[in-house]
Amino acid sequence: MSTTPGPGRRPGARGPLVLMYHGIGSRPAERDPYNLFVPPEGLERQLTTLVERGWTPLTLDRYLNGDVPRRSVLVTFDDGYRSMLDEGLPLLRRLRVPATVFVLPGLLDGTSRWMARMPDEPLLDAAGVRELARAGLDVECHGWDHSDLVRTDPEGLDRNVAGAAEALADLLGRRPRAYAYPYGTHDARARRAVAAAGFQVAFSVHEGDGRYAVPRVDVNSTDTGATFRLKTSRAYPALRRVSGAVPKLRPALHAVLGSARRS
């Protein structure tokens, strides 16, 4: 296996920072019980701050090629919500920030039905997915229908990895290169399937394991300037690990990270 300086770095190593967003848009709290939607003005502030602090936002090509300055960041969006087209694309274009969007070819023009408390959020249709790709965003794979790869049977695993890759290749005219595990969950079987399907990198959430489980930092609607700054600091992965290993420290970290819960 090659050792590019980009993907495959262990958490806390000096590889690129990978941010995980979901939706873009303003939602009342009751319509966004999982805090997934970051308002456009909040996203603009966060991305502008990063660039002003000297971070270089990466295209997926650049990330995969390991063409990465020391402070570089891959901005990713999971699930492929329709608001990505209406609210996300104009903003990202204006800011000239490249982004990678992970979509679900089995749920095109569908809704977020895998979430019990938010089953009706509209997802992109095929035309919308193509439009994002045509506009220069990197459109990649988040599985077929958001099944948890660790819990699915062999046919489900095949459908959500190789099948989803085929469907995206048909839709976009090129093979997807990056995979984001639904729920961030993965095991050796899932990682092997993703590698066998020809993906070059796969992203988890907090738990890393080589280039087929590169950890990402979750950004959500409860983040403030202070929590975003902490989450994008080099100390954050270590802080998270320490707070996981030493339960007594958790309230301290949560006091910082949780102080932004919106009303």
Q: Which residues bind Zn ion (CB under 5 A)?
A: 78-79
If the CB atoms of residues 52 and 120 are measured against Zn ion, the closer one turns out to be 120
Rounded distance, CA 196 to CA 191, Å?
A: 9
What distances in angstroms separate CA 104 from CA 19, 53, 56, 83, 142, one per listed residue? 19, 33, 28, 15, 5
CB of 93 closer than 8 Å to CB of 135:
yes
Residue nearest to Zn ion (CB): 78
If the CB atoms of residues 78 and 223 are measured against Zn ion, the closer one turns out to be 78
Q: Computed from CA positions of residues 68, 219, 120, 25, in that sequence, does the dihedral angle turn out positive or negative?
A: negative
Query: Min. distance of Cβ 8 from Zn ion in angstroms?
Result: 22
Query: Min. distance of Cβ 233 from Zn ion in angstroms?
Result: 25
Residue 71: CA atoms inside 13 Å, Cβ hemisphere, count? 10
Query: Min. distance of Cβ 162 from Zn ion in angstroms?
Result: 19
If the CB atoms of residues 78 and 138 are measured against Zn ion, the closer one turns out to be 78
Query: Min. distance of Cβ 129 from Zn ion in angstroms?
Result: 15
If the CB atoms of residues 68 and 190 are measured against Zn ion, the closer one turns out to be 190
